[in-house]
Amino acid sequence: MGKTDIKSMTVPELEELLSGYGQPRFRAGQLFKWLHSGVTDFDAMTDMPLKLREALKENCYIADVTVARRLQSEIDGTVKYLYRLSDGEYIESVLMKYEHGYTVCISTQVGCRMGCSFCASGINGLCRNLTPSEMLSQIMAAERDNNIRVSNVVMMGMGEPLDNFDNSVRFLQLVSDDKGMNIGLRHISLSTSGVVSGIEKLAEYNFPITLSVSLHAPNDEIRNSMMKVNRKWNVDTLLKACKAYQRVTTRRISFEYALIEGVNDSEACAKELAKRLKGIMCHINLIPANPVKENSFKKPDKNKILAFKQQLVSLGLNATVRRTLGADIDASCGQLRRRAKEVDGSDN
């Protein structure tokens, strides 16, 4: 039997585990604190009995990620990481500095099976889900590498978090635990391509996170051409689910809209978008599309992007163009991993 992924366990689960070793309840909190302080070795837990540490070493492992590549922007200090996982797979993370602190963009899967046409992460499909501990470790590794504390997290790296639902929810519970990293749910965004079944389930948890929905198109015709997921849950179904989610959580929803030249950037698209989003308390995040080696999409020129934004604003919507960070290390999410895999000679 494989070892237990102890960093993915909640305090009550640790209590149960430790009671099996005849340990008092308070040890679970102590152990949780150690695990979430970023230690990678049971021997570092110096206030835990030696015998217990030995037993844990035998039966459990502490998940970690190691830095395989680190690219730092000379413009704004943004750091892009390629992390290596314990099974040799690679994932990407980005560390960004804002006025209010540091934000980490984490991956939730190795690869992705949603297959959006403009995205590098999904080109070879899904390899595997990340564990909650591997999600946490991406933040811990960035903190360790830069000697900083991270205050905000966006689940917007590789993968579809709602296609790895249970692990993503557990990650949210663990990362916000005040005995651990204590990053408030209000400081966390989860981005989905529009997995409606997941949005419905997530509403039941009523987390005060920000839900980001990658809409990218105002109608089914355009969205079908960009995102396979739209054939399962179309724009109407998705927006209905967003409204229902908002009724429960009362949180503003953020809609991502990647502007691609000649695809979804017309004035008509802006007007239709404004009409569709009527009645949803939201913010629209316009993202100039990142060119990906494997496709031919281009971003519109600056004036067109601003005109699109102005059109939305004049129709009463709250829209901004995403600030470009790390323009000089620009590699859209999924591309670093693809390059690493090319070098390794593997095709997933």
Does 74 participate in catalysis according to the annotation?
no
Please identify, using beta-carbon distances, which residue of 172 and 258 lies nearer to ligand SAH. Answer: 258
Residues 8, 129, 192, 254: which binds ligand SAH (CB under 6 A)?
192
Note whether 333 and 291 are within 8 A (CB): no
Please identify, using beta-carbon distances, which residue of 73 and 193 lies nearer to ligand SF4. Answer: 193
Tokens of residue 305, six digits: 């992007």
Residue 315: phi, psi to the nearest 5?
A: -95, 10
Secondary element (H or E) of residue 4: strand 4-5
Q: Is 14 in the site for ligand SAH (CB under 6 A)?
A: no
Closest CA to 161 of 118, 124, 123, 201: 201
Catalytic residue among 15, 89, 92, 134: 92
Please identify, using beta-carbon distances, which residue of 209 and 292 lies nearer to ligand SAH. Answer: 292
**Non-local CB neighbours of 315 within 8 Å, separated by 6+ positions:** 270, 271, 274
Q: What angle separates helix 26-36 from helix 11-19, to the nearest 10 degrees?
A: 120
Tokens of residue 211, six digits: 């839900």
Partner that binds at residue 122, options ligand SF4, ligand SAH, none, CB closer than 5 to 8 Å by kind:
ligand SF4
Does 105 participate in catalysis according to the annotation?
no
Q: Is 217 in the site for ligand SAH (CB under 6 A)?
A: no
Residues 103, 121, 246, 264: which binds ligand SF4 (CB under 6 A)?
121
Tokens of residue 257, six digits: 């809209």
Q: Is 161 in the site for ligand SF4 (CB under 6 A)?
A: no
Please identify, using beta-carbon distances, which residue of 51 and 302 lies nearer to ligand SAH. Answer: 302
Taking contact as CB under 6 A, which single stretch among the options 17-25, 75-83, 140-148, 190-198 is the one that binds ligand SAH? Answer: 190-198
Residues 116, 136, 150, 274: which binds ligand SF4 (CB under 6 A)?
116
Question: For the residues of 188-212, what is the DSSP string, one character each?
Answer: EEEEES--HHHHHHHHHHT--PEEE
CB of 334 to ligand SAH, least distance (A): 7
Residues known to be catalytic: 92, 333
